Amino acid sequence: MAYVATRGGERAIEQSERFYRGDLGIITRERVDAMREGLPYLIDRLMGEASLYEPDLAALALAQAGGDLYEAVLLLRAYRTTQPRLAVAEPVTQPDLFTVRRISAAFKDIPGGQILGPTLDYSHRLLQVGVLNGQNYEPPAVEPAKEPAPATQPSLAAWQKAQGLIPDHPAQTVPPEDIPDVTREPLLFPTSRAHKLQSLARADTGGTLALGYSTMRGYGSVHPTVNELRLAEAPVRMRHPRGTIFSAGRVRISQTEVISKARELELGFAATFGWNEVKVIAAATLDLASNQPNPHPASNEEFVLYHTEPVEGSGFCIHFKLPHYVTFQSSLDALRRVKTDQQEAAIAKAKPETEMQPEEDEVLL
Amino acid sequence: MKINELTKPWSAFNYGFLDESAKREIRRRTLKAVAIPGYQVPYASRDVPIARGWGTGGLQVTLTLLKPDSVVKVIDQGADDSVNASSIRKFLAKVGGATETSDTTEATIIQSRHRIPEEKLREDQILVLQVPNPEPLRPVQPDMSIAREMHGDADYGQLWLILYEQLVRSGRIMQGSSYPSMVNGRHVMTPSPIPRWDVPKLNQADHLTILSAGREKRIFAVPPHTSVEPLVFDDVPYRVEDHQDKTCYRSGVEGFFMNELPQDDGSSLYELSDSHFGIKSIRKAEGEPVTLGETWYKNGRME
C-alpha cells in the first residue's frame, strides 16, 4: 500500500538505534569495570539520582548510554521499578555513620573534630597534561596520622539542641512499612517530610544546584552556613523475621545540614546515595528555604520538587521532538480564521454599501 | 518447606512489566477516576522503560488493562506506524503477549496520543489517551495545590475569562487543541491535546476513556454515556477545525480530520489523519473485502 510505504517509520527507528549503539561499540565487562573504578563520583551521582545503590548496574547504565547521564538515570529507574521492595532497613543516625569526611563551617572546632578526609577543595586545579604524552600521573601516597580518626562521630546538631540553640523535633515513631515512599505514592502538596527528603535525594544534581544557588545568591531569605557536611558509609541493617538485626553491607552516602543565621537558628537537611557534596549542600539549602514567606520560586516546595526531577524533566524536554502536527494543525486553523475574519472586516469597511456576504455555515455541535 | 517452593520461577519481569502492587494501585485509582468523571486522581506513576513525556502515563494504564487475549492499537497523531506508537505497541506485545492491530474495529484497547479514531468506538473497547498536562487550569494557575482547590470549589471563572479575552482580542476563541471541557456537569478537564474535531466524540460515548499523565502523575476518566461539553458561551458556538470539506489526496475520502502537507508551489495537500482509516478506504475502493466501521462524523458533520 502506497499509504504505508511512504511512512515506513519502523525500519528507520530500528536503524537509527543501531547507528547509535554502533558508535558506542561492543560493551564488555571490562569497559563496565573501568567505568566503575575510574569514575566513582559519576557513579555516585547516578546512583543518587536513580535512587538505586548498585555500582555495577550504574556503571553498566553509563556504558550503555555512552555517558549520557539522563539516559543512564532512566535505565536505572526503569530497572529499579521491576524490583520488589523486600524490606525496610533500620534507620541510621549520624553517630552510626562510618564517617570519612566531616566538616563544619559554623565552628572552628567541634566535638569529634574536623575531619577533612578525601577532598579536592584546597587543590590547584591543574590538568596533568603529561599523561597525554605518556607520563603516568601517580599521586603521592597518603601519610597516615599518628592516631587514626575515630570511625564514628557525634552529631553537631545534638550538641546545639542540648544547648537550646536549635529546636528539637522529636523523631516520629512510624512502623517501617508505613514510612511514606515517594516511588510508590504520588507526591502531593504540602508534602510530607519523608517525601520531600526522598525527592531531594533523587533530584537532578544540576537542577538542585541551579535552584539552590539562586536562593544562596539572594532570590530568597536564606543565608546558609554549613553546620555539618559528611561523607560516610552507612551501615545497612536489616531485621530478620525472627527479630535479630544484622548487617547487610554498607552504602556510600553524603549528607549536609545547613543552618540559617536569620532571627532564629533553623536547620535544613539533605542526604543522598553516593558522595556528592554539591548536591547535598544545594538540596539542604532548598530544604531550609522551603516555604519561607517569600515569593521566589526556589522557596516553593512544589516548584523545587517538580522541576528538579531528572527523569521527568529530561523526558518532557526531549518529548518535544515527537511529532505535534495534529495540535499544530488545530492552532493553525484558529489563526487562519482570525486572518480571514480580519480580511473580511477590511473589505466590508472599504465597501460599506456592499451587501455583507452571508456567513459561512458554522459547524454546530 | 523449602524456599523454592515459596517462590515463583525466575523471570526477567512480571507479566505486563509492572509488578502486581503497581497494577493494583493503578486499578484502584482508575476505578476512582471512573466514579468521579473528570476528576484528576493522583497516582504514584512508576518508572517504565520509555522516557517521561513519551506516553508513560498511557502505557501504565494499558499495561494494567492488558490480558493475553487483548488486541491493542497504538496511535500517535492518528498514525499507527509513527515511530513512538510502533515502539509502544511492540513493547505491549512483548511484555503482555497482546495481539497488535491497526484496525480500530478490531482493537480491545486503543492507546492514543492526540487523536481519537474516526470510526466509532463500542462499549467493549477502552480508549487510553496519553496526557502531557492534566491540568486545564495551568494557564491561569500553575500552582497545582491551588488548582486542586479551585476544582474542589468548581471555581472556573478564570478559565471562562481567558476564553472571553481571546474572543475580545482576536474575535475568535483561539484554543486549538486540548479544549477545556466540562465533564458530567461538575469537573472541567483537558481532553488531552486532541483537536477540537475529536472532543465531541467523548460526549455520551459508548466506550470508556481513561486519560493518564505519567510525568504529572494524574489519572482521570470519562465513563460511557457521560456528558462532555466544551466550555462555550451561549451565543458563540463551538467550532471544530474547518476540515469538513477537505479531501484526502490519497484516498479521495472527504469530511474527516486531515493532515496538511505543504507543497513546493505554496499550496497544500491533505491526507486523512487517521492513517488506518485511510488505508482501509483505499483498499475498499480497490475492491478488497474491507469493512469500515460506523464513523462519528458523517459528511463532515456530527449530529
User: Which tens digits make up the pLDDT trace of A192-218?
Assistant: 999 999 999 999 999 999 999 999 888
Whether residue A55 is contained in a domain is answered as yes
Domain boundary residue, one of A277, A295, A316: A316
Closest alpha carbon to B41 in A185, A305, A190, A191: A185
Whether residue A293 is contained in a domain is answered as yes
Looking up cell 509492572 gives: B18
Question: Which domains are present in chain B?
Answer: 20-139+177-230 (3.40.50.11310), 241-303 (no CATH)
Q: Read off the pLDDT of each residue in A250-270 and give the average, rounded to a whole number.
A: 90
Model pLDDT, residue A2: 40
Q: Is A7 on the interface with B (CB under 8 A)?
A: yes
Strand order across the beta sheet in which B126-130 lies? B41-42, B218-222, B208-213, B126-130, B109-113, B71-76, B99-100
Whether residue A233 is contained in a domain is answered as yes
Residues A92 and A171 sit within 8 Å (Cβ to Cβ):
no
Confidence of residue A363 (pLDDT cuts 50, 70, 90): very low
Residue A76 and residue A109 in one domain: no
Whether residue A341 is contained in a domain is answered as no
Residue length of chain B = 303
Q: Are the beta carbons of A323 and B76 separated by less than 8 Å? A: yes
Q: Are the beta carbons of A3 and B250 separated by less than 8 Å? A: yes
Q: Is A82 on the interface with B (CB under 8 A)?
A: yes
Residue A199 and residue A274 in one domain: yes
Looking up cell 486503543 gives: B110
Q: Is A84 on the interface with B (CB under 8 A)?
A: yes
Residue A280 and residue A234 in one domain: yes
Residue A34 and residue A100 in one domain: no
pLDDT at A222 over 80: no
Closest alpha carbon to B232 in B181, B158, B286, B189: B181
Close Cβ partners of A147 (under 8 Å, ≥ 6 residues apart):
none
Q: Is B60 on the interface with A (CB under 8 A)?
A: no
Whether residue A336 is contained in a domain is answered as no
Residue A107 and residue A251 in one domain: yes
Residue A235 and residue A286 in one domain: yes
Residue A49 and residue A159 in one domain: no
Model pLDDT, residue A120: 92
Confidence of residue A352 (pLDDT cuts 50, 70, 90): low
Which of B8, B21, B23, B47 is the mutation pick for testing A, counting most A CBs within 10 A?
Answer: B47
Q: Classify each residue of B181-197 as buried b or exposed e, where b means 16 or more C-beta atoms within 10 Å of its C-beta.
A: bbbbeebbbbbbbbbbb
Residues B26 and B33 sit within 8 Å (Cβ to Cβ):
no
Residues in chain B predicted with pLDDT less than 50, given as ranges, are none
Neighbouring-strand partners of residue A272 = A254
Whether residue A144 is contained in a domain is answered as no
H-type helices in chain B, by residue range? 3-6, 20-35, 56-65, 83-96, 144-152, 157-170, 275-285
Model pLDDT, residue A362: 46
**Contact residues, chain B, for A84 at CB < 8 Å:** 19
Residue A22 and residue A102 in one domain: no
User: What ipTM does this complex have?
Assistant: 0.80
Residue A155 and residue A198 in one domain: yes
3-state secondary structure of A297: helix
Between strands B126-130 and B109-113, the pairing is: parallel
pLDDT at A292 over 80: no
Residue A199 and residue A253 in one domain: yes
**Contact residues, chain A, for B239 at CB < 8 Å:** 337, 362-363
pLDDT at A4 over 50: no
H-type helices in chain A, by residue range? 2-5, 9-24, 29-38, 40-50, 55-64, 69-80, 156-162, 193-201, 205-217, 277-289, 301-307, 310-319, 325-350
Residues B127 and B110 sit within 8 Å (Cβ to Cβ):
yes
Q: Read off the pLDDT of each residue in A311-334 and give the average, rounded to a whole number.
A: 90
Strand order across the beta sheet in which B181-183 lies? B187-189, B181-183, B228-230
Neighbouring-strand partners of residue B182 = B188, B229
**Contact residues, chain B, for A2 at CB < 8 Å:** 250, 282
Q: Is B263 on the interface with A (CB under 8 A)?
A: no
Model pLDDT, residue B200: 97
Whole-number Å distance between alpha carbons of B57 and B78: 18
Confidence of residue A7 (pLDDT cuts 50, 70, 90): low
Q: Read off the pLDDT of each residue in A131-145 and give the average, rounded to a whole number.
A: 94
**Contact residues, chain B, for A177 at CB < 8 Å:** none
Whether residue A356 is contained in a domain is answered as no
Whole-number Å distance between alpha carbons of A42 and A102: 21
Residue A161 and residue A263 in one domain: yes
User: Which tens digits make up the pLDDT trace of A35-48?
Assistant: 999 999 999 999 99
Domains in chain A, number: 2
Whether residue A52 is contained in a domain is answered as yes
The three-point CA angle A120-A122-A123 to 5° equals 65
Model pLDDT, residue B8: 74
**Contact residues, chain A, for B233 at CB < 8 Å:** none
Residue of B78, B200, B283 with shortest CB distance to A326? B78
Residue A102 and residue A220 in one domain: yes
Model pLDDT, residue A168: 85
Domain of residue A24 covers 10-80
